[in-house]
Amino acid sequence: MKKLPYFPFYYLDWLSSSSVSMMTHEEKGLFIDMLSRCYNDDGLPDDNKKLQRLFNCTDDLLTPVKEMFYSVDGLLKNEKLDSIIKDQQGMIKDKSKAGKASAKARAAKKLQKLTAVEHVLNPVATEAQQNSTNRTEQNRTEQNNTSLSWLDTAKTEYLDFCELYFKMLKNNGKVKKNTNWKTEAWYNAARLLVERDGENLERMHQVLGYVSKNIDDQYFPQVWSVPSLREKWLKIKSHVQRNGTKTHSTGRNNA
- pLDDT tens for 47-96 read 999 999 999 999 999 999 999 999 999 999 999 999 999 998 888 888 88
pLDDT at res. 29: 97
228-253 average pLDDT score: 72
Q: What percent of the chain has pLDDT over 90?
A: 43
State the distance between the two ends of the chain, measured CA to CA, in whole angstroms: 63
pLDDT of residue 117: 62
* pLDDT at position 222 over 70: yes
Q: What is the pLDDT of residues 153-194, one digit of tens each?
A: 899 999 999 999 999 998 988 887 788 888 999 999 999 999
Half-sphere exposure of 53 (CA within 13 A, CB side): 5
Amino acid at 96: S
Q: Please give the residue that has the higher pLDDT: either 220 or 65.
A: 65
Give bridge partners of residue 71 from the DSSP assignment: 76
- pLDDT at residue 244, rounded to an integer: 63
At 42, the pLDDT band (50, 70, 90 cuts) reads: very high
The residue ranking higher by pLDDT, 7 or 132, is 7
Q: How much is the pLDDT for 160?
A: 94
pTM: 0.41
Nearest CA to 119 out of 39, 242, 233, 204 is that of: 233
The confidence score (pLDDT) of residue 192 equals 93
Query: What pLDDT shows up at residue 148?
Result: 54
Q: What is the pLDDT of residue 134?
A: 63
Pick from 196, 207, 213, 225: which is nearest to 132 by CA? 196
> What confidence category does residue 127 fall into, taking pLDDT thresholds of 50, 70 and 90?
low
Cβ within 8 Å of residue 194, ≥6 positions away: 158, 200, 201, 204
Q: Given a cut of 50, is residue 255 above it in pLDDT?
A: no
pLDDT of residue 101: 83
- Residue 146 — left, alpha, or beta (φ > 0 → left; ψ -120 to 50 → alpha)? alpha
Going by pLDDT thresholds of 50, 70 and 90, the confidence category of residue 122 is: low
Q: Provide the pLDDT confidence category of residue 243 given band limits of 50, 70 and 90.
A: confident
For residue 204, is pLDDT > 70? yes
